[in-house]
A and B are shown apart, each in its own frame.
Chain A
Amino acid sequence: MSAEESGPAGSAALSGWEGRKGPADDNFVQLLSPAGERLSNPEYDSWIEDLSDQDLLGYYEDMVVVRRIDTEATALQRQGQLALWAPLLGQEAAQIGSARALQPADFVFPSYRENGVAYVRGIDLVNSLRIWRGNTHGGWDPYEFNMATPQIIIGAQTLHATGYAMGVVNDGADSAVITYFGDGASSQGDVNEAMVFAASFQAPVVFFCQNNHWAISEPVGLQAHQAIADRAPGFGIPSMRVDGNDVLAVLAATRIALDRARNGGGPSFIEAVTYRMGPHTTADDPTRYRDANELEDWAAKDPITRLGALLDAKGLLTEEAKAAVQAKADQVAKDLRANTISLPEPEALQVFDNVYSEPHSALERQREHYQHYLAGFGPAENTAAEGAHR
Chain B
Amino acid sequence: MPSDPYAADRPRLHRRGFLGLTAAAAASAALAGCAGAGSAPGPGAARPGGRLRAAFPGGGADEVLDPHATDLYSEIARAKALFEKLADYGSDMSPQPRLAERWESSADLLTWRITLRQANFHDGRPVRAADVLYSYERILRPDSTRRAKASLSVIDLAGSRAVDDRTVEFRLKRPYAEFPNALSTLGAYIVPEGAENFDRPVGSGPFRFASFEPGRSFLATRNPDYWEGAPYLDELEILVGNDEAARVNALLGGQVEYAHDLTATTARSHESTGQVAIHRLPKSNFHALAMKVDRPPFDRLEVRQAFFHLIDREELVRSVLQGSGEVANDLFGKGYQYYADALPQRHQDIDRARALFRQAGVENLTLDLDTSDVSPGLREAALAIADQAKKAGVTLNVKLGNKDTYWSDISKQGVIASYRSGAMPIESHISQRLLSTSTTNNTKWQRPEFDALYHQAQSTTDEARRAQLYLDMQRQLHDEGGFVWWGVSDWIVATATNVGGVDDRAPANTLDWARFDKVWLG
| A, B assembled together | no
A residues adjacent to B (C-beta < 8 A): none
B residues adjacent to A (C-beta < 8 A): none
